[in-house]
Amino acid sequence: MDEMKRIRIGNQTAFAASTLMLPFEYAVANGFNAFEWFPDRHESGEGWDVSDIDAGTRSYIKDRATTHDIALSVHASLQANPLKNENLELWFKDIEFAQDIGASLFNIHLYTDGGIETYIKAITPIIRRSAEAGIKLAIENTPLTIPDDFNKIFALFQNMPAVDTAHTGICLDPGHANLCGSTRNDYLGFIDRLDTRVPVIHIHMHENYGDKDSHLTIFSGPAGENTAGVRGFIERMKKRRFSGSVILEQWPDPPSLLNRARDRLYNMWMQDQEYKRN
């Protein structure tokens, strides 16, 4: 048997939280072993960006995460779009922040406005910079992207010998997959249409009723009534030999919903001796 697969479950920053650091401190206090930083500054001024976190706080985050064995990831800034050349420096600042706090993965969204080849050309500097930093790069499905977009991207990556893409993979977001036009209310169908060679290296976990991107805490929406979908999701991730972090993308009221979601997911996932709770 191969080395046991390791699963971590954590939460994420949220502009709805009363302070920037509150979700992270909650993760530490409640034994979560993964956490994602999402610079989500809105036009209204709500949220934050990496310039709000100084060097001392970055060191504090890195030390706290190391002490409590928390795997960190960073989501690209809300305003970052690789198809806009003026955003490139923003991406690099996000990657620098990831390095400063000791994050092991950087997550970006897929944009297909100009076609897959245009997107790949636009993110090539990000691929190179993240590889140089020793950070994995995850490309996330949005409600507007379809499985074949990812099949094309990772097929094209095989023909880029001048660019190291070995550290890249997909951030699978079942909530977004559930809103995809071709797989609405069938996120398992989205996964089944992904080529088995597309590596899933990160997961954003939330749910909805197929009507809007409501980011409901898992088991507080449809899965609260029927867990068949979640069980099917876990089965598919096991077949793909997923090993990494599952990020709960919300700050619910009460936050204890995160604990319940984590514990229930672990209980379902650990029904396999090949996996271990990291």
* 126-164 pLDDT per residue, tens: 999 999 999 999 999 999 999 999 999 999 999 898 899
Residue 9 has pLDDT above 80, yes or no: yes
Give the pLDDT mean for 43-50.
Answer: 89
In three-state secondary structure terms, 70 is coil
CATH code of residue 119: 3.20.20.150
The rounded percent of the chain whose pLDDT value lies above 70 is 96
Q: How far apart are CA 268 and CA 238, in angstroms?
A: 12
Between residues 159 and 110, the one the model is more confident about: 110
Per-residue model confidence (pLDDT) at position 170:
98
Q: How far apart are CA 145 and CA 265, in angstroms?
A: 26
Q: How confident is the model at residue 275 (pLDDT cuts 50, 70, 90)?
A: low
| Verdict on whether the full-model pTM lies above 0.85 | yes
Which residues in 160-186 are b (16+ Cβ under 10 Å) and which e? eeeeebebbbbbbbbbbbbbbeebeeb
**Tell me: the pLDDT tens digits for 68-107?**
999 999 999 988 888 887 778 899 999 999 999 999 999 9
CB 24 within 8 Å of CB 35: yes
Between residues 2 and 194, the one the model is more confident about: 194
Kindly give, in sequence order, each residue whose CB lies less than 8 Å from that of residue 273, ignoring residues fewer than 6 positions away: none
Number of domains forming the structure of the chain: 1
Burial of 3 (0-12, 13-18, 19+ CB in 10 A): exposed
**Tell me: the pLDDT tens digits for 179-210?**
999 999 999 999 999 999 999 999 999 999 99
Q: How confident is the model at residue 42 (pLDDT cuts 50, 70, 90)?
A: confident
Per-residue model confidence (pLDDT) at position 4:
53
Q: How confident is the model at residue 278 (pLDDT cuts 50, 70, 90)?
A: low
Q: Which domain holds residue 87?
A: 5-277
Residue 40 has pLDDT above 80, yes or no: yes
Residue 59 has pLDDT above 60, yes or no: yes
Give the pLDDT mean for 2-10.
Answer: 76
Q: At what angle do helices 88-101 and 55-67 cross, to 10 degrees?
A: 50
